[in-house]
Amino acid sequence: MNTLHALAAEYAAAKEAEAQWATRRRELAAAIQAATGHDSEGQKTYDAEGWKVAVRAPLIRSMDWDQWEAVKERIPETLWPVVYRPTVDSKGVEWIANNDPQTWAVLAPCLTTKPGAVQVTVTPVEE
């Protein structure tokens, strides 16, 4: 058995264990929420005989952007409950770096580039 094979097998086992523990953690969080009766938005801390248990029950809000575009003019802009944030277009940055040296010379000092988390997928081969 080669090293990569052993690492792949161990990685797959770790991912499976992680998924099982994540499921169990979500079950326990639901049980803790039920035990405290905490069902409102916000956070509250409970005493549990030597444990401080903080329960936060967020409400996740999302927007139907097509619907928003249809109604936003009827809401004063100062009350718009949206934040427009600039984001980096990585493909555009890469294109400029590879194809437009003059623009790259101006843009490069604005950017910070660092390695992200390595992503690995292992799949057993069916024989």
Q: Name the residue among 53, 68, 59, 60 with its Cα closest to residue 39.
A: 59
Q: How far apart are CA 90 and CA 92, in angstroms?
A: 5
pLDDT at 118: 84
pLDDT at 36: 93
pLDDT at 99: 98
Q: What is the CA radius of gyration of the chain?
A: 24
Judge contact between 83 and 74, C-beta under 8 A.
Answer: no
The CA-atom distances, in angstroms, between 26 and each of 3, 19, 23, 29, 33 are 34, 11, 5, 5, 10
Judge contact between 53 and 67, C-beta under 8 A.
Answer: no
pTM of the model: 0.64
Mean pLDDT split into 10-residue runs, the chain, 127 residues: 88 95 95 90 90 91 95 96 94 97 97 90 82
The pair of three-digit structure tokens given for residue 73, joined into one six-digit string: 């003019």
List the domain boundaries for the chain: 1-60, 62-109
pLDDT at 70: 97
pLDDT at 1: 59
